[in-house]
Every structure is written in C-alpha cells, then in structure tokens.
C-alpha cells in the first residue's frame, strides 16, 4: 500500500519524506486556505513547491470550478505546473464529464468526495486514475467508512477496473490499518495518524529493558 500525506504544509511533507515513507501528496481548497495560500498565482507556486518536494510522487491539485469548461481550463493550467500533478475533480455531473475528458487526454485524475459505491462505479467508468472515498466523514455520521472501502475494492476487482482506491479523510491510525485490510491501494492522511502507527507500549518497555541490560553487561 502507498502512503500519501494529506496536507499543504511544506514542513509536514518534508517530515514524511525524511521518514522514507512518502509516495505522494493530496491537498484540497480547505488545506490550502489553512496554510494561508490565496490567489491563483500563489496557489500555483505552492503546488510547484509541493510537486518538487514530492520527488515524482503524485500530487493532487483540486479544481474549484463546478462547470466542465471551468474545470477543463483549471486542469490544463495545473497540469502545466509539473508532470506529477494529478487533477482532483469533485463527484458531480460536470466532474464526471471532466474525468472522461482528462482521461482521454492522458491527464491523471483523482475523483474526490466519494461517499457511495455508485459514485465509485461512475468515476471508474469515466476513467478516473484515483477515487477518494472519505472514510472519516462517513464514520462521523455513524455510517461505515471502512465498509465502503471493502465494497468498492470488491466491485473494482470483479469488474477489473484500473482505478485506484485512495482512502481519504483518515481520522486515526486504526483507519490506516483497516483501510489496508479492506483493499485500499493508498491512504492519504495527516502526519499524526502515520506516526501513531509507530506506537506500542511493549516496544517502549522492551527497548528500555534491552538498553538497561546492555548497560549492566558493559559496566
Ligand atoms: C483528501 O483528499 C480529502 O480532501 C481529505 O482527506 C478530507 O479530509 P477531512 O475529512 O479530514 O477534511
């Protein structure tokens, strides 16, 4: 399974990269706004920095238009920034049309705001490279986010779709493990749930004992 980091924060991206586990980056308009990145030119410059840091790993840049012509124009502008830019398109009617257009023109896409297997089916049919089911937001309303990943993984396997499942809206480390078991190809999340995978009290106790025994034996 590949690990993407879900942030527009350059320090967090660097930290994940230094850990040696970074395969790509996803952003969205909320994450860009959180970093204070405003205006077309600044947004494009920031994507260029992220794309460089990602070292060839895919970087999702989300369009803000909701009509086909607008999405198409934004997509071409973003695609010029770097070869590893992937166009993130919302799951709406004109978004589906945009997925098909971009796929036919050799531009990679990530269909975002996926909350059902039906939406995942339509996005795959339109040629999406990735789909982003939002696990956390589904769990937030007491539905089953991981159950949706299971369903989509089974459907894509039966139908032999190439579209990859990018589990998004990850709230904790267990979501990462469960998404891996359910058949997600990639998870995207902030750095903290990734670092949470490191933690186990028996690891800390065990290491402390090894080091104490070493000190005793080397007095
Ligand atoms: C990623 O592509 C999504 O935009 C993101 O994971 C959404 O996460 P949130 O539900 O925590 O905002």
Dist. CA 130 → ligand 1 center (Å): 14
pLDDT tier at 113 (50, 70, 90 boundaries)?
Answer: very high
Are 186 and 164 in contact by the 8 Å Cβ rule? The answer is: yes
pLDDT at residue 182 is higher than 90: yes
Which residue is associated with the tokens 């012509």? 69
Dist. CA 55 → ligand 1 center (Å): 22
Mean pLDDT of 44-70: 97
Ligand 1 pocket mutation pick from 138, 169, 184, 192 by most atoms within 8 angstroms of CB: 169
pLDDT at residue 219 is higher than 90: no
Read off the pLDDT of residues 157-172 as tens digits, 9 standing for 90 and up.
Answer: 999 999 999 999 999 9
Measured from CB, residues less than 6 Å from any atom of ligand 1 are 6, 26, 28, 112, 132, 134, 136-137, 168-169, 188
Read off the pLDDT of residues 1-56 as tens digits, 9 standing for 90 and up.
Answer: 999 999 999 999 999 999 999 999 999 999 999 999 999 999 999 999 999 999 99
Are 214 and 32 in contact by the 8 Å Cβ rule? The answer is: no
Residue nearest to atom 7 of ligand 1 (CA): 169
Dist. CA 134 → ligand 1 center (Å): 7
Residue nearest to atom 4 of ligand 1 (CA): 28
Q: 3-state secondary structure string, the chain?
A: CEEEEECCCHHHHHHHHHHCCCCEEECCHHHHHHCCCCCHHHHHHHHHHHHHHCCCCEEEEECCCCCHHHHHHHHHHHHCCCCCEEEEEECCHHHHHHHHHHHHCCCCEEEEEECCHHHHHHHHHCCCCEEEEEHHHHHHCCCCHHHHHHHHHHHHHHHCCCCEEEEECCCCHHHHHHHHHHCCCEEEECHHHHHHCCCCHHHHHHHHHHHHHHHHHCC
Residue nearest to atom 11 of ligand 1 (CA): 169
The catalytically annotated residue of 72, 88, 125, 216 is: 88
**Residue 87, pLDDT score:** 98
- Report the alpha-carbon distance of residue 91 to residue 68 in Å, rounded: 12
Ligand 1 pocket mutation pick from 2, 6, 88, 139 by most atoms within 8 angstroms of CB: 6
Ligand 1 pocket mutation pick from 62, 134, 172, 192 by most atoms within 8 angstroms of CB: 134
Give the chain's mean pLDDT.
97
Assess whether 88 carries a catalytic annotation. yes
């Amino acid at each position: 399974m590949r690990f993407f980091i879900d942030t527009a924060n350059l320090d967090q991206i660097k930290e994940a990269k230094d850990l040696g586990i970074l395969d790509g980056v996803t952003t969205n308009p909320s994450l860009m706004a959180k970093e204070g990145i405003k205006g077309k030119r600044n947004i494009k410059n920031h994507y260029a920095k992220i794309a460089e840091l990602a070292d060839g790993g895919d970087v999702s840049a989300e369009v803000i238009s909701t009509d086909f012509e607008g999405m198409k124009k934004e997509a071409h502008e973003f695609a010029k920034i770097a070869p590893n830019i992937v166009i993130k398109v919302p799951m709406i009617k004109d978004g589906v049309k945009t997925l098909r257009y971009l796929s036919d023109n050799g531009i990679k896409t990530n269909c975002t705001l996926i909350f059902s297997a039906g939406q995942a089916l339509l996005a795959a049919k339109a040629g999406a490279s990735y789909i982003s089911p939002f696990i956390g937001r589904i769990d937030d309303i007491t539905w089953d986010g991981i159950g949706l990943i299971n369903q989509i993984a089974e459907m894509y396997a039966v139908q032999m779709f190439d579209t990859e499942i990018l589990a998004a809206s990850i709230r904790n480390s267990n979501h990462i493990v469960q998404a891996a078991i359910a058949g997600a190809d990639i998870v995207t999340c902030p750095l903290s749930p990734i670092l949470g995978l490191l933690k186990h009290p028996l690891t800390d106790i065990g290491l402390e004992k090894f080091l104490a025994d070493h000190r005793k034996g080397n007095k």
